[in-house]
Amino acid sequence: MIDFTQVDRTLTGLCSQGKVPSATLCVYHRGRIVHEGAYGYPDPEAGAPATLDTRYDMASLTKLFCSTAFMRLVEQGVFSLEERVCESFPAFTGMRDIVPMANELDKGQTDASVHGQCDAGLVTWYHVLTHTSGMGWLAMNKRPSLEAALQEILTMPFAYATGSTVLYTDLGLILMGLAMEKRTGILLDDLVDQLVAQPLGLAHTGYLRNSAHRDATNVAPTEFCAWRGYRVRGCVHDENAFLLDGVAGHAGLFSTARDAATLCQDYLTSYQGGKGLISTGMVRRMASFQAQNDWDRRGIAWQLRLLDPEAHSYPLSANAFGHTGFTGTCMWIDPDRDMTFALLTNEVYNGRENRALIEVRGKMVRALVAAVDAEAAG
């Protein structure tokens, strides 16, 4: 039996120290749930403790749920990875200047020495899902309207030549979500529910539309948003997803640690040759190396274990794949250890400039790997 005492102590301590207000964790090992925990207080002002059913803003983990739905459509013949994005968006074509670009949503800057032109019409969904499209960033909430923002995405300059390097960006996933709706005639939140949540029994997973009556019961709040003028509760933290009514390919989903880990376990089952939502061959392709930059390594939709010893994913096995989310979330699959886990926090409650997440993730992953390896050695 795996001893998770140090894992629990680590997360309890990080919450009590104020590193994060709250956290939930779910761990699968050898095909079954072996540990779950809830720590801290999602809303320190309210004083109610986190529970295993507390839902968290998944931030960029949304990409994995949406990409899972997309890949199911690929295997059904509705889309192809080699299909050009301009087949869904005719304006997304023609030569684009490559210009230095700053990230308006977070700190970041592209290589100022890179110039030239590239043809937007050559960008495929494969490029989008490996973050090699060359597209940059855009703060949609700073544009005069949603329509103006979407038009700018389709016509703006690129940051790099397509296929030349990895640049992590939300814009391609925004287009992918919209393309899924156009092609199927089904709203994205319903697609993710029908193709991912329902088949896996993920009862606590879904989008919370801004325009609909939202059940915010047991939903962890995030930061005070100066742009919106209130602390974000029960609606998406991400500004671009908020402008899209809370439903987008890159952000907007809410879930629990158990539901997120269950999606990971479905991928691991398929990776190992069993029956999952996506075929074994496709999952193994998604989990294999596709592209990288100086620090980020990418499969298809998934991030691969990083090679920097300081990275939180470094203690995992060489074949591990997973993802992180800006609000304080992560989920990982470690095939060599036959393990998956999801760690959800609302770390941005304290503000996006006051980030302790690198420490939180790193300490938890090291404690978890040590516990699993001790059981294997014992």
The string of pLDDT tens digits covering residues 362-372 is 899 999 999 99
Distance, CA of 166 to CA of 169 (rounded, Å): 9
Higher pLDDT, 99 or 129: 129
The string of pLDDT tens digits covering residues 13-38 is 999 999 999 999 999 999 999 999 99
Indicate the number of domains in the chain. Answer: 2
Give the domain CATH number at 362.
3.40.710.10
Q: What is the pTM of this model?
A: 0.95
Residue at a domain's end among 168, 184, 200: 184
Residue 50, domain extent: 5-65+188-377
Residue 227 shares a structural domain with residue 367: yes
pLDDT over 60 at 324, yes or no: yes
The pLDDT, as a whole number, for residue 102 is 64
The pLDDT, as a whole number, for residue 318 is 96
Distance, CA of 113 to CA of 315 (rounded, Å): 35
Residue 60 shares a structural domain with residue 155: no
Residue 13 shares a structural domain with residue 52: yes
The string of pLDDT tens digits covering residues 136-150 is 999 998 999 999 999
Residue at a domain's end among 127, 149, 184: 184
Mean pLDDT of 78-105: 90
Secondary structure, 3-state, the chain: CCCCHHHHHHHHHHHHCCCCCEEEEEEEECCEEEEEEEEECCCCCCCCCCCCCCEEECHHHHHHHHHHHHHHHHHCCCCCCCCEHHHCCCCCCCEEEECCCECCCCCCECCCCCCEEEEHHHCEHHHHHHCCCCCCCCCHHHCCCHHHHHHHHHHCCECCCCCCCCCCCCHHHHHHHHHHHHHHCCCHHHHHHHHHHHHHCCCCCEECCCCCCCCCCCECCCCEECCCCEECCCCCCCHHHHHCCCCCCCCCEEECHHHHHHHHHHHHHHHCCCCCCCCHHHHHHHCCCCEECCCCEECCCCEECCCCCCCCCCCCCCCCEEEEECCCEEEEEEHHHCEEEEEEECHHHHCCCCCCHHHHHHHHHHHHHHHHHHHHHC
pLDDT over 90 at 101, yes or no: no
> Is residue 281 assigned to a domain?
yes
The pLDDT, as a whole number, for residue 103 is 62
pLDDT over 60 at 107, yes or no: no
Residue at a domain's end among 129, 152, 184: 184
Residue 192 shares a structural domain with residue 58: yes
Mean pLDDT of 315-321: 97
pLDDT band at 109 (very low <50, low <70, confident <90, very high): low
> Is residue 173 assigned to a domain?
yes
**pLDDT > 70: percent of the chain:** 96
Residue 169 shares a structural domain with residue 318: no
> Is residue 224 assigned to a domain?
yes
The pLDDT, as a whole number, for residue 199 is 98
